[in-house]
């Protein structure tokens, strides 16, 4: 039998911006507004029935002028830590809809961007809860709806709120999110609604629920037609050891019914696990938890959408984010294949060129892969869990060919193994990993090019200083003024007619031996094969004698030459051409 299940709504956002508090307030309002059945606590989630939402929203929902068929909303809180960053199901986000919480006084923070990136990738509709408005200094809490409350604030406060709100609208538009205050939105398919609110005073919470419910109903009705009596489909939230129960798995069920005794298949990294539901648990009513009887209540069956704790044998190797299905005995093999295929669609194992990536869960790995693909970064291997010797070896195999790909990107994973030729970039914010990777690549490229340029004879211009002839011949020693570029030991030198006459044997200044001398320095150099008064004289200008091959290479590395060096290299080319008209002409001019 087809029926509409509750849309799954995740609450996302930066640490401490008030995700849990907003959910608490929604739950709190639910309990205040009606007694029995106001909310159902599920494992890792709370379900607010439509009737309760209607009571909380009062006349607000009527304004929307819509008929509601969704039974309610199932909320999942995502804790600040990263394991929950991306709750996935095949082909999408486990969440049908989301609340993005932003602290009005703090604005956009790293995890806000992270959340937006994930919502964008999966095209998940969302609203922005602009939280903590009560902390705007001078804010007066009113017991009316949020719009009247805003209108009743002083003009200054109204202005402050508007400034903060539109600053945020501006920032969001930079990352291609078109947003607007909820009452000023004219097309919910094009604009993200922002609802100013306070989880502390409750202001704006009914409006937040109204917009969310309206959005859920309008856009989700079709995709929520699930088969309540069919086999259960779910996503693993967490694997947990519970006192008295042993290993258990917390699962969000988004389709079908799961019963005690059902056969379940859970996809694994190498192979799937098939087991039986030994027991199903929901959170115990508050009173029982207080009596310390148990935190959990055993139930016979659960229906989508809900969160449930499953106790079963052989679940030690279950990984969070993995898909779960219940099935008939005869369908085990088929289900196994389907689930394993789903996982293999995410994991990557190739011999091609590309980087290695690791993540702590299937969901975060998928999100990371998607972002890298958008950035055209080739992936050789993508897998879950700690970095292994094999990962290192795979990354290192790129080193010879392209050291920029000798990299492991790790999301929410400790980087313990190290190897000289393999760069490991780890972070618990996905887009930070990508930023760090880009930065590392840029720096590394510069470094590589810089070391490249040092292999070539670079442009340099010196003048033999009058009165500083220390030795005339037999390895002449003269004082020189470095007019441009860097004079280096080993550098071949030519005169201003373009004739290569000598090279720099050594450089000395104040009795110190130097490897090089920069423009502006005056140093003594020893130069063989020349005699002062014959091949060279006081006041002569000498240049580095750049071989034609080097001239070409320097053209490609132009970015690493100073303006002064570029001027000199042009002079050098002119001089070389006096002797050989085609010198370097096949290289377009500098």
Ligand X SMILES: Nc1nc2c(ncn2[C@@H]2O[C@H](COP(=O)(O)OP(=O)(O)OP(=O)(O)O)[C@@H](O)[C@H]2O)c(=O)[nH]1
Residues interacting with ligand X, by CB under 6 A? Answer: 13, 15-21, 79-80, 131-132, 134-135, 198-200
Nearer to ligand X, 26 or 504 (CB): 26
CB of 321 to ligand X, least distance (A): 19
CB of 100 to ligand X, least distance (A): 11
CB of 555 to ligand X, least distance (A): 53
CB of 10 to ligand X, least distance (A): 12
Hey, how many other C-beta atoms are within 10 angstroms of the C-beta on 163?
Answer: 10
Hey, how many other C-beta atoms are within 10 angstroms of the C-beta on 552?
Answer: 14
With CB under 5 to 8 Å by kind, the binding choice for 199 among ligand X, Mg ion, none is ligand X
Would you say 348 and 375 are in contact if contact means Cβ atoms under 8 Å apart?
Answer: no
Alpha helices, H only, 90-204: 110-121, 146-152, 155-174
CB of 117 to Mg ion, least distance (A): 20
User: DSSP 3-state assignment of 128?
Assistant: strand
Query: Beta strand pairing status for 233-242 and 323-327?
Result: antiparallel
CA 31 and chain centroid, separation? 38
Nearer to ligand X, 100 or 487 (CB): 100
Nearer to ligand X, 204 or 321 (CB): 204
User: DSSP 3-state assignment of 149?
Assistant: helix
With CB under 5 to 8 Å by kind, the binding choice for 200 among ligand X, Mg ion, none is ligand X
Nearer to ligand X, 134 or 550 (CB): 134
Q: H helices then E strands: how many in the chain? A: 14, 36
For CA atoms 409, 410, 414, 416, the dihedral sign is negative
User: DSSP 3-state assignment of 477?
Assistant: strand
Taking each helix axis from N to C end, the angle separating 19-33 and 50-57, rounded to the nearest 10 degrees, works out to 90
Nearer to Mg ion, 80 or 547 (CB): 80
Nearer to ligand X, 112 or 502 (CB): 112
With CB under 5 to 8 Å by kind, the binding choice for 135 among ligand X, Mg ion, none is ligand X
Q: Is 34 in the site for Mg ion (CB under 5 A)?
A: no
With CB under 5 to 8 Å by kind, the binding choice for 54 among ligand X, Mg ion, none is none
Nearest to 349 by CA among 294, 273, 270, 406: 270
Would you say 347 and 384 are in contact if contact means Cβ atoms under 8 Å apart?
Answer: yes
Q: For 354, which DSSP code? A: -
| 323-328-330 Cα angle (round to 5) | 110
Q: Taking CB positions, which residue lies at the least distance from Mg ion?
A: 20
With CB under 5 to 8 Å by kind, the binding choice for 385 among ligand X, Mg ion, none is none
With CB under 5 to 8 Å by kind, the binding choice for 253 among Mg ion, ligand X, none is none
With CB under 5 to 8 Å by kind, the binding choice for 134 among Mg ion, ligand X, none is ligand X
With CB under 5 to 8 Å by kind, the binding choice for 15 among Mg ion, ligand X, none is ligand X
**Maximum Cα–Cα distance across the chain:** 109
One-letter-per-residue 3-state SS of 232-288: CEEEEEEEEEECCCEEEEEEEEEECEEECCCEEEECCCCCCEEEECCEEEEECCHHH
Residue 375, both tokens: 């950035």
Q: For residue 119, with 0-12 CB atoms within 10 Å meaning exposed, 13-18 middle and 19 or more buried, which class applies?
A: buried
Nearer to ligand X, 13 or 323 (CB): 13
CB of 13 to ligand X, least distance (A): 6
Return phi, psi of residue 259, to 5°.
Answer: -120, 155
Residue that the structure tokens 């299940």 belong to: 5
Nearer to ligand X, 85 or 179 (CB): 85
CB of 22 to ligand X, least distance (A): 7
x-or-dash string of contact with Mg ion, 10-29, rule CB under 5 A: ---------xx---------
CB of 199 to ligand X, least distance (A): 4
* Cis peptide preceding 170, ω within 30 of 0: no
Length of the chain: 590
CB of 242 to ligand X, least distance (A): 22
Nearer to ligand X, 19 or 458 (CB): 19
With CB under 5 to 8 Å by kind, the binding choice for 131 among ligand X, Mg ion, none is ligand X
Nearer to Mg ion, 20 or 340 (CB): 20
CA trace torsion 260, 263, 267, 272 (10° rounding): 140
CB of 86 to ligand X, least distance (A): 15
Nearest to 510 by CA among 494, 523, 528, 495: 523
Would you say 99 and 22 are in contact if contact means Cβ atoms under 8 Å apart?
Answer: yes
Nearer to ligand X, 16 or 550 (CB): 16
Taking each helix axis from N to C end, the angle separating 430-453 and 362-374, rounded to the nearest 10 degrees, works out to 50
With CB under 5 to 8 Å by kind, the binding choice for 545 among ligand X, Mg ion, none is none
Nearer to ligand X, 142 or 200 (CB): 200
Would you say 109 and 43 are in contact if contact means Cβ atoms under 8 Å apart?
Answer: no
CB of 80 to Mg ion, least distance (A): 6
Q: Taking CB positions, which residue lies at the least distance from ligand X?
A: 80
CB of 74 to ligand X, least distance (A): 18
CB of 279 to ligand X, least distance (A): 29
With CB under 5 to 8 Å by kind, the binding choice for 423 among ligand X, Mg ion, none is none
Nearer to ligand X, 58 or 79 (CB): 79
With CB under 5 to 8 Å by kind, the binding choice for 309 among Mg ion, ligand X, none is none
CA trace torsion 357, 363, 364, 366 (10° rounding): 50
Name 355's Cβ contacts closer than 8 Å, sequence gap at least 6. 372, 377, 378, 379, 380, 395, 398, 405, 407, 408, 409
With CB under 5 to 8 Å by kind, the binding choice for 198 among Mg ion, ligand X, none is ligand X
Binding positions for Mg ion, rule: CB under 5 A: 19-20
């Amino acid at each position: 039998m087809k029926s509409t299940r509750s849309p799954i709504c995740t609450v996302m956002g930066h640490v401490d911006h008030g995700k849990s508090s907003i959910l608490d307030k929604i739950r709190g309002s639910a309990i205040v507004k009606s007694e029995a059945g106001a909310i159902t606590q599920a494992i890792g989630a709370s379900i607010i029935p439509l009737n309760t939402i209607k009571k909380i929203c009062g006349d607000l929902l009527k304004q929307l002028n819509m008929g509601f068929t969704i039974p309610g909303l199932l909320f999942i809180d995502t804790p600040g830590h990263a394991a929950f960053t991306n709750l996935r199901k095949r082909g999408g986000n486990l969440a049908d809809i989301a609340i993005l919480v932003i602290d009005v006084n703090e604005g956009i923070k790293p995890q806000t961007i992270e959340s937006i990136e994930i919502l964008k990738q999966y095209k998940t509709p969302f609203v922005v809860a602009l939280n903590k408005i009560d902390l705007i200094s001078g804010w007066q809490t009113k017991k009316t709806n949020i719009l009247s409350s805003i209108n009743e604030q002083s003009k200054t406060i109204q202005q402050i709120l508007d400034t903060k709100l539109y600053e945020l609208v501006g920032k969001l538009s930079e990352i291609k999110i078109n947003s607007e205050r909820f009452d000023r939105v004219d097309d919910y398919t094009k604009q993200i609604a922002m609802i100013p609110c306070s989880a502390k005073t409750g202001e704006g919470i009914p409006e937040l629920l109204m917009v969310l419910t309206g959005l859920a109903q309008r856009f989700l009705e079709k995709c929520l037609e699930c088969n309540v009596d069919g086999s259960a489909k779910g996503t693993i939230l967490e694997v947990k050891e519970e006192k008295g129960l042993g290993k258990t798995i917390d699962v969000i069920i988004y389709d079908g019914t799961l019963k005690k005794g059902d056969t379940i298949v859970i996809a694994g990294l190498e192979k799937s696990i098939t087991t039986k539901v030994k027991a199903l648990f929901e959170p115990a009513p508050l009173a029982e938890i207080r009596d310390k009887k148990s935190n959990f209540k055993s139930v016979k069956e659960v229906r989508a959408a809900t969160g449930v704790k499953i106790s079963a044998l052989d679940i030690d190797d279950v990984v969070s984010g993995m898909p779960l299905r219940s099935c008939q005995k005869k369908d085990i093999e088929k289900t196994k294949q389907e689930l394993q295929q789903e996982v293999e669609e995410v994991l990557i194992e190739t011999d091609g060129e590309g980087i290695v990536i690791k993540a702590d869960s299937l969901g975060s790995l998928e999100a990371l892969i998607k972002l890298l693909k958008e950035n055209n970064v080739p992936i050789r291997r993508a897998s879950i869990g700690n970095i292994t010797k094999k990962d290192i070896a795979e990354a290192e195999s790129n080193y010879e060919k392209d050291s920029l790909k000798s990299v492991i990107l790790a999301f929410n994973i400790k980087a313990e193994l190290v190897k000289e030729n393999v760069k490991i970039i780890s972070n618990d914010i996905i887009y930070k990993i990508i930023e760090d990777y880009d930065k590392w690549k840029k720096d590394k490229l510069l470094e590589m090019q810089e070391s490249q340029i040092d292999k070539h004879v670079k442009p340099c211009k010196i003048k033999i200083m009058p009165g500083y002839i220390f030795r005339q011949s037999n390895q002449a020693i003269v004082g020189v003024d470095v007019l441009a570029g860097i004079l280096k030991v080993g550098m071949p030198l030519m005169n201003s007619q373009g004739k290569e006459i000598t090279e720099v044997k050594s450089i000395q200044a104040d009795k110190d031996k130097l490897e090089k001398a920069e423009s502006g320095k005056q140093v003594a150099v020893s130069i063989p094969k020349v005699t002062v008064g014959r091949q060279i004289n006081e006041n002569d200008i000498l240049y580095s004698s750049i071989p034609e091959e080097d001239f070409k290479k320097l053209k490609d590395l132009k970015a690493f030459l100073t303006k002064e060096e570029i001027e000199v290299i042009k002079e050098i080319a002119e001089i070389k051409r006096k002797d050989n008209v085609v010198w370097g002409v096949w290289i377009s001019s500098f």
